Structure 1
Amino acid sequence: MSGPGTTATRTDRALATVERLGNRLPDPFLLFLGLFLLVGVISTVLQVLGTAVTIPGSDEETAVRGLFTGDGLSWLTVNLGPNFIGFPPLVTVVTILLAVTVAERTGLLAAAIRASLGSAPRWLLPYAVGFVGVNASVMADAAFIVVPPLAAMVFKAAGRHPLAGLVGGFAAVGAGYSTSMLVTSLDALFSGITNSVTAGLPDPGATVTPISNLWFNMASSVVLALVAGLVIDRVVEPRLVREGAPVDMVEDADADADIDGSPAEDDDVAPALRAMPTDLSPDLDPGERRGLRAAGIVFALLAIVIVAVVLPGGSPWRNEDGNFLPESPLLDSTVFIVFVLFLGPALAYGFTSGSLRRAADVPKVMGLGIKDMAAFIVLAFMLGQFIALFNWTNVGSALAVTGADGLESIGLTGYPAIIGFILLASVLNLFIVSGSSMWTLMGAVFVPLFALLGFEPGFVQAAFRVGDSATQVITPMNPYIWIFLVMLKRYEPQAGLGTVISRMIPFVVPFWFAWVAVLTVFYLTGADVGPGVDIRID
């Protein structure tokens, strides 16, 4: 006879298995170093065997080239640096990050979130938390730390259960991390990786830019926000009330400790340079309100200038046909536009609110963003080598042609293949929570494969977003799940990993199906997932 205890034991065992398997994975840098060497050995063996494939649309055979040959080793020694510097995400991600860091460190993003949640009426709060959480990826990983406790405070102030806000905030941020109404550094990262793996295809489809998934992201963020709100309002909060979950935090002697470990305030150092803003009170002080108004005005003015420049018929940002699609200087200027629309308002907010005091503070704040990206830059070195080797050896082309032929032979060439791809990404996401690592690994194989089946790389990237996010709030491999557990213990001291998983599961399944439904609508209607990015390659 089974009971709650038996179910809990089974759950704990399953979670322990996931954690144990995940912990056996090496560091991402070492993982891709191993994959690099593996591809090198495989490519060499295939060259010795005389392996060659004919890519559909090409009249010539593409032969596999081996790394551990004279040509391969000379290629590596000549291109080690270019492989790294030429890794496409570096150009876009680092550039956008400079501006986003200023917006984050000055407090603009946190203030905007606090203003959004603090002004929402009581009945709308679950949906406001859902919308803010889903769109908070613009703050990158800081969203995991800022949104949940703020949502709990706002819920409590409105007379609702604070744990519902805490749980809902974390779930919305994590399970919807890959989407946003705004263009983020994640869009730049994914698009760079996608473009890097389409080399060598006769018809690689439309060039993928940071806005290539914009329409899909905007639709997804609205739907997921509604789903998150419904789950918080109709499932999570009623369950917490029935269980009699505590509504007040447990007093902790260390609760008021400085969570960022920053030094004592120094009047000669601007607040933005000391640490990311950690004031999570839903109330804004007068300086923050003035800063938000100034940021809003600057954003509006910049948007008006951009529109006024690109709209005229003779605008140099149009293509040769006088249009913006499928390609144009305007689309190629996405990084610049995002950079300006973040940096301008951030500077206005910083100098108005006082988080920036002098012009010299700005490059120092930007430097903090680069410092935070150090781990990614190191990883990018290995990712760049792996992608370059995959392309140069033509192993990717061989796998794509073989895989496409295999799917065609069993008749699995349409949308069901995309669903299978999403399922695979969801499972892998339990073990590899780094989006860049997983997309580098999966994109190298599946983007060319699906391109040969007629799917646009931008559409495949949109499908990957679903699997990349929905399950990351239930995997022990997500480092922020442990930070959330600390937050949860403030209310429920006996809470453990199983508690976190049980709180998150009500979000994972609805998020997954709702997100797949959005993608399905785009597929069935043939709507572009972003400017100039169709479902099928013409």
Structure 2
Amino acid sequence: MSETNIRKEKQNEVKGFLKNVEKIGNALPHPVIIFIILSIAIVVVSAIVAATGVSVTYFDAKAGEEVTKKAVSLLNAEGLRYIFNSATTNFTGFAPLGTVLVVMLGVGVAEWSGLINTSLKRLLTDVNPRLLTAVVVFTGIISNIASDAGYVVVIPLGAIIFAGAGRHPIAGLAAAFAGVSAGFSANLIIGTTDPLLAGITNEALRSVGIDYQITSTANWYFMMVSTILLTFLGTFVTEKIVEKNLGTYTGDYIPDKAEVTPLEKKALKNAGISLLIFVILAAFLMFPKNAVFKELDENTGKMTLDIFMNNGLLPLILLLFIIPGIVFGKTTGKIKDSKDIVTAMTSGMESMGGYLVLAFFASQFVNYFSYTNLGAIISYKGADLLKSIGFTGLPLIIAFIIISAFLNLFMGSASAKWAIMAPIFIPMMMKLGLSPELTQVAYRIGDSTTNIITPLMSYFPMIVVFAKRYDEESGLGTLISTMIPYSMTFLLGWTILMIIWYILGLPLGPGAYIHI
């Protein structure tokens, strides 16, 4: 058999596998029903596991104390009270809910006024089509500097950009999703994840009396190179696998391909000026030594943006869209008074009805998983199993990446998993001569790459809703089968980069080395 025929046969096998995954997934009930079924399953499983007395005891680096967690049953009087008493707060406290709705208020104004569509039309005339995929993936990766905003901004824009270029919009959505979520830890600059994980690592070191501290820049060099690598890998998977598997788009969505008018160009210029002024003002409030948005960190005695980045950034992003959106609409005449602004915000909320229904039931499932301690038990037991295997050196690092990726399918919070795993693996690997910086970067690789294939990921229901906008028949199966190539490629490519880094003995960040 010729090499060409072998290659075609392998491609057909890949397509066949992904098609089977899609068929199986889409044969499942509506995502809302799936979350109801999963919630019921958690109730039953929690009762069984609790009856056996399963528990885990570990030092929680985040809490700074030893914690024992027993499996908690939902199938008793206390559990049933929790189910009913917490239903409303589970929903209203569901983290992605507020993030999505706040940002969509601003996006609604920018979209209704015509700013987004016009900006995209202008962008498509300026960007080399060959670089379009790379731009979408790269933008997704670096968006994590704005916390979770990339989920509600970059991902839907990726679909719109691809549709405007005559390409399959779900491929654009997938490329952006891969960048935002599977590449979550990577970036060219230090983001909110870096100090968060470094703080937990340092607590883990302190808990066992190790006089060693790492900084927020401990993984910076590696993550900068990772950004470039993942951009390349995401572009390759999108163009060589995902788009070929999706085929020609036959949906009803029709992008606006009209030329940008002189008035729209003027409106874009005015919106750009207003955006620049806003960014300068925001920078003044954020970055000077004693900036308004900075608060004193009692542990370090320094003024930081940590609290603002986790809480105040979303309203800032809201204004980031609203201000230029209003200026654009005022210039074109689309926005005449305050009533139009409210109408624009309302339009942004109208498309979120399906997500609100999904969010209610998804929030119950996620909270049941946390309340019953099943997530912590699965994570700890899995980590303990890896510890008992006794790997050393590079094989241990590779195994640790794989187990982190696997545990991420069950427990989405990066900080929660790391608070459990760091006190176990940081000291163990240090005894084997491996630095805490290396252990942390290995964890980040595994923790990121499987985000896009687990329905437990908080934003997963929202991405399904976005996909349905372009294909009503799409569901969990469609999204998971579309994202599997990204997840596997990122995991393999990122691990290979880690292996090369390890062999060459390169620093992971300023003053952060592989070995102790």
- Aligned 8 A contact 1:447 1:457 in 2: no
Match of 2:134 in 1: 130
Match of 1:104 in 2: 111
Q: How does 1:128-167 map to 2 (within 5 A)?
A: 128=132, 130-132=134-136, 135=139, 139=153, 142-143=156-157, 145-152=159-166, 166=167
1:103-122, Cα deviation, whole Å (9 max, x unpaired): 223222222222223134xx
Q: Aligned in 2, Cα 1:77/1:513: closer, same or farther, shift over 3 Å? A: closer
Consecutive unaligned residues of structure 2, counting only runs of 5 or more, are 141-149, 185-191, 197-202, 207-218, 427-438, 455-463
Consecutive unaligned residues of structure 1, counting only runs of 5 or more, are 153-165, 185-190, 196-201, 206-212, 241-248, 250-254, 261-277, 426-438, 472-476, 487-496, 529-533
Q: Aligned in 2, Cα 1:367/1:399: closer, same or farther, shift over 3 Å? A: same
Q: Aligned in 2, Cα 1:36/1:228: closer, same or farther, shift over 3 Å? A: closer
| Distance across 1 between alignment mates of 2:136 and 2:369 | 39
- Aligned 8 A contact 1:108 1:292 in 2: yes
Paired amino acid for 1:406: L
- Aligned 8 A contact 1:147 1:170 in 2: no
- Aligned 8 A contact 2:59 2:67 in 1: no
- Aligned 8 A contact 1:126 1:228 in 2: no
- Aligned 8 A contact 1:47 1:63 in 2: yes
Match of 1:304 in 2: 280
| Secondary structure of 1:55's aligned partner | strand
Match of 2:370 in 1: 391
Paired amino acid for 2:411: G
Q: Identify the match of residue 115 of structure 1 among 103, 122, 127.
A: 122
Q: Are 2:30 and 1:23 equivalent residues in the alignment?
A: no
| Secondary structure of 1:320's aligned partner | strand
Q: Aligned in 2, Cα 1:69/1:216: closer, same or farther, shift over 3 Å? A: farther
Match of 2:49 in 1: 46
- Aligned 8 A contact 1:400 1:445 in 2: no
Match of 2:89 in 1: 82
Q: Aligned in 2, Cα 1:393/1:146: closer, same or farther, shift over 3 Å? A: closer
Match of 2:420 in 1: 452
Give the structure with the higher percent helix.
Answer: 2
| Distance across 2 between alignment mates of 1:507 and 1:405 | 28
| Distance across 2 between alignment mates of 1:214 and 1:104 | 35
Give TM-score, length-normalised by structure 1.
0.62
1:313-338, Cα deviation, whole Å (9 max, x unpaired): 44442222564547334553111221
Match of 2:293 in 1: 317
Q: How does 1:31-430 map to 2 (within 5 A)?
A: 31-57=34-60, 58-59=65-66, 61-120=68-127, 124-128=128-132, 130-132=134-136, 135=139, 139=153, 142-143=156-157, 145-152=159-166, 166=167, 171=171, 173-179=173-179, 278-281=255-258, 283-321=259-297, 323-325=302-304, 327-329=306-308, 331-411=310-390, 415-417=397-399, 419-420=401-402
Alpha-carbon shift at residue 391 of structure 1 (Å)? 2.0
Alpha-carbon shift at residue 21 of structure 1 (Å)? 1.6
Match of 1:160 in 2: none
Paired amino acid for 1:48: A
| Distance across 1 between alignment mates of 2:513 and 2:291 | 29
| Distance across 1 between alignment mates of 2:270 and 2:43 | 55
Count of residues in correspondence between the two structures: 425
1:249-285, Cα deviation, whole Å (9 max, x unpaired): 9xxxxx9x9857xxxxxxxxxxxxxxxxx4224x411
Alpha-carbon shift at residue 385 of structure 1 (Å)? 1.2
| Distance across 2 between alignment mates of 1:507 and 1:391 | 28
Paired amino acid for 2:293: W
Paired amino acid for 1:296: G
1:485-521, Cα deviation, whole Å (9 max, x unpaired): 99xxxxxxxxxx9xx99xx999998777666678889
Alpha-carbon shift at residue 344 of structure 1 (Å)? 1.1
| Secondary structure of 1:442's aligned partner | coil
1:358-398, Cα deviation, whole Å (9 max, x unpaired): 32122222222222111111111112212222222222222
- Aligned 8 A contact 1:54 1:60 in 2: yes
- Aligned 8 A contact 1:470 1:511 in 2: no
Paired amino acid for 1:420: I
Match of 1:265 in 2: none
Alpha-carbon shift at residue 404 of structure 1 (Å)? 1.5
| Distance across 1 between alignment mates of 2:318 and 2:501 | 29
1:393-451, Cα deviation, whole Å (9 max, x unpaired): 222222222122112112469642464268769xxxxxxxxxxxxx8x63358864443
Q: Aligned in 2, Cα 1:457/1:326: closer, same or farther, shift over 3 Å? A: farther
| Distance across 2 between alignment mates of 1:47 and 1:415 | 33
Q: Aligned in 2, Cα 1:482/1:399: closer, same or farther, shift over 3 Å? A: same
1:295-316, Cα deviation, whole Å (9 max, x unpaired): 1111111111122233444444
Q: Aligned in 2, Cα 1:30/1:483: closer, same or farther, shift over 3 Å? A: closer
Q: Report percent identity of matched pairs.
A: 24
